[in-house]
Amino acid sequence: VVVTIRDVAREAGVGLGTASRALAHEPGVAATTRARVLAAAERLGYRRSPIAHAFSRRRTNTLEIIVPRFTRFYMEILRGVESALADTDYSVVIRTIERREARERVLAACCTRGRSDGVLFISILPPDDLVERLLGMGLPAVLIDGEHPQLTSIRADDEQAEMAVVRHCVELGHHQIALLDRAEDPFGPAVPSGRQRGFERAMAEAGLEISDGYVQVIPFGLEGGARGFERLAALPEPPTAVLTGADMQAMGVIEAARRHGWKVPEDLSVVGCHDIELAEHLGLTTVRVPVRDLGQLGAGLLLAAIGQSAAPPQRISLPAELVVRATCGPPTR
Amino acid sequence: VVVTIRDVAREAGVGLGTASRALAHEPGVAATTRARVLAAAERLGYRRSPIAHAFSRRRTNTLEIIVPRFTRFYMEILRGVESALADTDYSVVIRTIERREARERVLAACCTRGRSDGVLFISILPPDDLVERLLGMGLPAVLIDGEHPQLTSIRADDEQAEMAVVRHCVELGHHQIALLDRAEDPFGPAVPSGRQRGFERAMAEAGLEISDGYVQVIPFGLEGGARGFERLAALPEPPTAVLTGADMQAMGVIEAARRHGWKVPEDLSVVGCHDIELAEHLGLTTVRVPVRDLGQLGAGLLLAAIGQSAAPPQRISLPAELVVRATCGPPTR
DNA sequence: TTGTAGGCGTTATCAG
DNA sequence: CTGATAACGCCTACAA
């Protein structure tokens, strides 16, 4: 029922090897022979078996991509990945880690030899033993929106960007500035983000102190933002400006603020992060992160690493810039 | 360098077949023997090769999913798919069709035997010859948000939902109602959507006529909505209510309307579709589509179809309901 | 330039 | 219950 390369070879009246070479467009086959093989394949409706191919070549032509969950932010990264892969014959299998319990299992599963030719971790920090195993079996991996000493990582320069944001707020006259950050890796260890470092540095430079409860890590998304706002609003001295780790968080803050009768930006200045499509339409002051480039570059680096045996890990950081729109203004308190 | 099942067998002092059976947790292996094999595998750090496994079993444990592009809507479907797959060991390779030219190529590639065990088309209508090939080689496929006579398809009941929307608008007093629809399959043939049919039926029932230019197909997203609004606004008699094919389109319409100085809902009522997370926060009147269920059910059906040889195609339609919020009101013109 | 003989790691078959 | 042995479909040396 299935047409194999053997059938094609017989039909074309050539040997197995010749058929294989002809079909693979390899050099070293006479033009007429090749034409004969191709014609035979066409006639028989031959299609080579991808698994057999992968099995034999010991290469799957597949990239494994691990993201925390399907959100707008990761979609944009995936688009970048895809554009990098557009002219290759690589496929992507995408895994998400929706539940914390699944983290171990998913991560372990993806690092089996033969599953894929390379792994792309997005906003996921692989534990050290995993990295060890990856390195041990020579499976290339790159980190997007994360960092690991032994893996080439690529991320936005959150630290610089956040410093620019703080400076902007200070120039507007704010003294009470809070940061509602998102977790670097929602399912991993709580490491301080670049945003947090930038925030602290810039606040120190401005001679401002960070009040208790002004730095919090909240979940991605509208809901997280809303909860963050409520915690901030309940403080004895609520901030006059709030920086966030994602545009959707910022929007959640704004929504919740409005529900509580606060006006934005009069009563509260809000800054997002990433500059998703919606941000422009809603006039959100935010940080423009080249999200798509993150994905494209990351995939490109991974592809490159698959070629060589052992490239030294690189650390790439893409500039992010402040985009001033309408959700920030001078404080009125 | 790689530990094969052969090594395990030798280490455990058993035959190849026994080792295979023990590792696969198949019955018919003495408990002590199994323990010995498992221990040997553990000791050697054996991990079975997924490709070799797939090659031998002629089953990849992989589902191929084809979506037009990465957007919020498709992400939500993907989440549903994922939840259906959570307790299986199925992986998902996702393909998008960003460019129209790629359509043919991508679709052809996904329908090779051995690539996957089943295909899930989302908002993509496979051409007849493709369906023929799929059926011919016994590769199960199901359609989400689409319909094909020979494939089991699952979709929201857009027609009923849109009729409810029209009735709602009519009750509010609207006579000039327009529909900015989205394409069923952005890269495929232009078939009239269920929305369009429901729109026409309900308008006829209400004794209203549909003016020239009141039904348009516009791209997904904010930009499409904005352009749609502009075309509608340029009409000699612009509508007082606009129904759309997606929430993001509706938001695009609202943004553009505001830019032109129209107030929503006073000057223009707007209805979205899907009820994405944002819709609630922005007070958008919309149609709630069980998007996640679409994905979950679709994946479940596909999984079921993989078991049997040839199940008859089913046609499932999930109810969608009107959600009244703040972007619809009585007309003031 | 072409044909042939292994080998990739598993599972399946069929005697013992 | 166990152990050889034969596929699975393709690629790749190596020999002709």
- With the C-alpha atoms ordered B307, B309, B312, B315, is the resulting torsion angle positive or negative? positive
Residue A146 in this model has a pLDDT that exceeds 90? yes
Question: Residue B6 CA to nucleotide C6 C1', Å?
Answer: 18
Q: Which of B288, B264, B50, B259 is nearest to B161 (CA)?
A: B288
**pLDDT, mean of residues A130-146:** 92
CB A169 within 8 A of CB A328: yes
pLDDT at B282: 86
The nucleotide minimizing the C1' distance to residue A21's CA is D11
Nucleotide nearest to A31 (CA to C1'): C1
Best A91, A95, A106 member to test B by mutation, with max B CBs in 10 Å, is: A91
Digit-coded pLDDT (tens) for B16-59 = 999 999 999 988 889 999 999 999 999 999 999 999 999 999 99
C1' of C16 to CA of B104 (Å): 54
Q: What DSSP letter does each residue of A25-57 carry, written as one string?
A: T-SSS-HHHHHHHHHHHHHHT----HHHHHHHH
Q: How far is B51 from chain A (nearest CA, A)?
A: 6
Q: Between chains, do A82 and B98 touch, taking CB under 8 Å as contact? A: yes
pTM reported for the whole predicted model: 0.92
What pLDDT was estimated at residue A10?
93
> A interface mutation test: which of B70, B98, B105, B111 has the most A CBs within 10 A?
B70
- When the pLDDT of each residue in chain B is averaged and rounded to a whole number, the result is 93
Q: What is the mean pLDDT of residues A126-131?
A: 92
**Kind of pairing, strands B177-181 and A286-288?**
unpaired
Cβ contact, residue pair B114, A71, below 8 Å: no
At residue B113, the pLDDT reads 80
**Residue A137 pLDDT > 90, yes or no?**
no
Q: D13 C1' – A61 CA distance, angstroms?
A: 23
Average pLDDT of the residues of chain A: 93
Supply the pLDDT for residue A113: 79
Range list of H helices, B86-127: 102-110
pLDDT tens, residue by residue, A210-269: 999 999 999 988 999 999 999 999 999 999 999 999 999 999 999 999 999 999 999 999
Instruction: Give me the A residues in range 32-61 that sit within 7 A (CB) of strand C.
Output: 32-34, 55-56, 58
Residue A58: closest C-alpha in chain B: B51
3-state DSSP assignment of residue A67: strand
Q: In sequence order, what are the residues at sequence separation of 6 or more whose Cβ sits closer than 8 angstroms to the Cβ of residue A319?
A: A156, A157, A160, A161, A290
Q: What is the pLDDT of residue B71?
A: 87
DSSP H helix total and E strand total for chain B: 13, 12
Which residues of chain B have a CB within 8 Å of the CB of A114?
49-52
Query: Tell me: the pLDDT tens digits for A256-293?
Result: 999 999 999 999 999 999 999 889 888 999 999 999 99
Instruction: Please give the pLDDT value at position B114.
Output: 84
Q: Give the CA A48 to C1' D9 distance in Å.
A: 8
Among B287, B333, B62, B76, residue whose Cα is nearest residue B181? B287
Answer yes or no: is A56 CB < 7 A from strand D: yes
Give the residues of chain B that fall short of pLDDT 50: none
User: In sequence order, what are the residues at sequence separation of 6 or more whose Cβ sits closer than 8 angstroms to the Cβ of residue B280?
Assistant: B325
| Residue B248, pLDDT score | 94
Partner residue facing A47 (CB), from B69, B113, B221: B113
* Strand, helix or coil for residue A286: strand
| CA-based nearest residue to A271, from A174, A191, A130 | A174
- A99 versus B327: the higher-pLDDT residue is B327
* A7-45 pLDDT per residue, tens: 999 999 999 999 999 999 988 889 999 999 999 999 999
Q: Sign (positive/negative) of CA torsion A112, A116, A119, A120? A: negative
The answer on pLDDT for A77 being more than 90 is yes
Listed in sequence order, the residues at least 6 apart from B91 whose beta carbon sits closer than 8 Å to its beta carbon are A93, A95, B61, B62, B63
Question: What region does B123 belong to: left with phi over 0, alpha with psi -120 to 50, or beta?
Answer: left
By three-state DSSP, how is residue B152 classified?
strand
* DSSP-derived secondary structure letter, B151: B
| A332 inside 8 A of chain B by CB | no
Q: B112, A47: Cβ pair inside 8 Å?
A: yes
Q: Which residues of A touch B222 (CB under 8 A)?
A: 277-278, 281
pLDDT score, position B9: 93
Number of separate helices (H) and strands (E) present in chain A: 13, 12
Measured in angstroms, what separates residue B146's CA from nucleotide C10's C1'? 39
Kindly tell me if the per-residue pLDDT of A190 is higher than 90.
no
Query: Of B4, B105, B281, B292, which to mutate for an interface test with A (greatest number of A Cβ within 10 Å)?
Result: B281
pLDDT for the residue numbered A105: 84
Query: What pLDDT is attached to residue A42?
Result: 94
From A283's Cα to the closest Cα of chain B, the distance in A is 11
Percent of chain A surpassing pLDDT 70 = 100
Q: What pLDDT is recorded for position B27?
A: 86
**Nucleotides on strand D with an atom closer than 7 A to protein CB?**
1-14
Q: Which contacts qualify for A211-217: CB closer than 8 Å, 24 or more apart?
A: A211/A176, A211/A178, A211/A235, A211/A237, A211/A239, A213/A178, A214/A176, A214/A177, A214/A178, A214/A179, A214/A239, A215/A178, A215/A179, A215/A181, A216/A178, A216/A179, A216/A180, A216/A181, A217/A180, A217/A181, A217/A182, A217/A183, A217/A190
